[in-house]
A and B are shown apart, each in its own frame.
Chain A
Amino acid sequence: MADVYVSGAGMTRFGRREESLLDLFVDAGRQALEDSGFDRVDQIYVGSMSTEEMTGEGNIASVVTERLNLLPAAAVRIETASSTGAAAISEAFLSISSGYHKRVMVIAGEKMTHLKTDRISHILAEVIAPQERAYGLTMPALAALVSRYYMWKYNISRRTVSMIAVKNHFNASLNPHAHFQKEITAETVEESKIISSPLTLYDCAPISDGACALVLTAEKGKVRITGIGQGTDYLALENRDSLTSFRATRVAVENAYRMSGRSPADVEIAEIHDAFTPFELVGCEDTRLFLPGQAAEALLDGTTAISGRLPVNPSGGLKARGHPVGASGLAQIVELVWQMKGKAGKRQVQKAGVALAQSIGGLATNNFVTILEAK
């Protein structure tokens, strides 16, 4: 199996953007190409969850390839709901590690902010089980059911959950690519409107526009992808084996650790899918970075802060960097690459030799874990 390196990374600012989705794709793609020093690739993997419904655009892989002047490179679109960006990396990784390609681009984006909230809720709810959708359940409602049970089982207070948002907004305040670049207080979280109890507005990742891209190569570089794992689970919450843990992550992380030869003790920095604040705790525990029920303590004692022993979501996470759904899984990797290359500016962590990203698709029905190492 050939080694796979990251040779270039690019990302637009996430947030409410006036540019079209294609313009965002082109911006991110050109940045990644320039960073890599290459102007041609063998294949493009395009990640986008729902361009047809969000912007009315189809055949997006061909369109992006043409707009980036990368014809006649092969092009394919990848989609696994909110883990789409991570899925695109996984496919790109396989194409190089198999020896089929030498150089590929992974690019992912979404354009969402021009749509009304109830329309976005409807589109995002299409990824959940039809039987649960018939009841009017949405992604925030299902996340709220999981969150309330998690908080009850591990005796996690409202204030503790708020501190996840406080940490990630602080990190995002140092990130010029983030949707929200200002700090908040715990009171801000607790006094914001309730989306689906107990989750408030500031517990939920925002609706964002944005795109990001990587160039992966077989040629040696400073950052190598050493492990990738994927796992799936039942669509319906009713069929899950746990309400405090996601099997899809547990399977994905074991595959990634096995491939990389690494263990949780080796990980020095992590980007964890925090579309809803309690999910950061669940993700930290499912990836075995912390024992079940103990991620909150690590949050409160500063272990997961940028200056802590194991920084989690130094980018601001989905919560504050923003969540253009198809792009988030790739944006996590872009952040880790920048951290590993010492290019993270004010939010630069001290040690980023081994990094882990965990991405959730749907309500944890199609999850990915990626492990990177600085060479």
Chain B
Amino acid sequence: MKIPVYVCPRCGWTTVIRWEHCMECRTEMLKRQSSPLGEILSFTTLNFPPEGFETPLSFVLVRLKRGMIVTRAESDSWLKIGGKVELIRKGNLFFAVPSSGWPRFFKKIFG
């Protein structure tokens, strides 16, 4: 699985959010793919979610090869800044799962 990202061919500004034109130099953005592998920049578990969500909610800010993305995680017990993660898709959302050498079938079971 690849993560869709939008890259400015002129200045290199990159975003995971669909963007028609670069907000830094106004150039038309190009749609590219990024590896689902990344590194944890930060994480949190929210105990007081907004209406319509169940508690607790864990979030991970991940640095991809191209761009940053906020994802969910099933739990925060394994999270640490600098940790390696792989992103998987569940419905419309991305979830971060450990990637440090775990075999793919293991991640599918416990991700």
Contact = CB atoms under 8 A, between A and B. Distances in A.
B76 interface: yes
A184 interface: no
Interface string B26-43: 000000000000000111
Contact of B47 (A122, A129, A148, A194): A194
B49 A121 contact: yes
A137 B70 contact: yes
Contacts of A119: 51
Interface stretch (A93-101, A162-170, A237-245, A281-289): A237-245
A174 B93 CA distance: 47
A197 interface: yes
Contacts of A243: 41-42, 61
A136 B50 contact: yes
A236 interface: yes
Nearest to A234: B23
B22 to A, nearest CB: 11
A137 B17 CA distance: 16
Interface string A3-38: 000000000000000000000000000000000000
A141 B51 contact: no
Interface in A321-352: none
A240 B72 CA distance: 19
A307 to B, nearest CB: 35
Contacts of B16: 238
A276 B46 CA distance: 14
B61 A197 contact: no
Contacts of B52: 122, 136
A148 B50 contact: no
A317 interface: no
A122 B51 contact: yes
Interface in A120-145: 121-122, 125, 129, 131-138, 140-141, 144-145
B47 to A, nearest CB: 6
How big is the B interface, by class?
Answer: 20 to 34
Nearest to A131: B17
A197 B44 contact: yes
A145 B47 contact: no
Given A121-B51, A134-B93, A238 B68 contact: yes
A195 interface: yes
A251 to B, nearest CB: 14
Contacts of B57: 135-136, 141
A246 to B, nearest CB: 15
Contacts of A125: 50
A303 interface: no
A273 to B, nearest CB: 20
A154 interface: no
B17 A144 contact: no
Chain A CB within 10 Å, residue with most, of B50, B68, B70, B76: B50
B17 to A, nearest CB: 5
A123 to B, nearest CB: 9
Given A121-B50, A138-B46, A140-B46, A197 B76 contact: yes
B15 interface: yes
B7 to A, nearest CB: 13
A355 interface: no
Contacts of A240: 68
B15 A137 contact: no
16 contacts: A118-B48, A121-B49, A121-B51, A125-B50, A134-B93, A135-B59, A136-B46, A136-B52, A141-B59, A145-B43, A195-B46, A195-B48, A196-B46, A196-B47, A198-B44, A238-B61
Can you list the 5 inter-chain pairs with the closest CB atoms, starting with the nearest? A144-B44, A136-B53, A149-B42, A196-B46, A141-B46
Given A140-B48, A199-B44, 12 more contacts: A121-B49, A133-B50, A135-B70, A135-B71, A136-B72, A137-B59, A137-B70, A144-B46, A196-B46, A198-B44, A240-B68, A243-B61
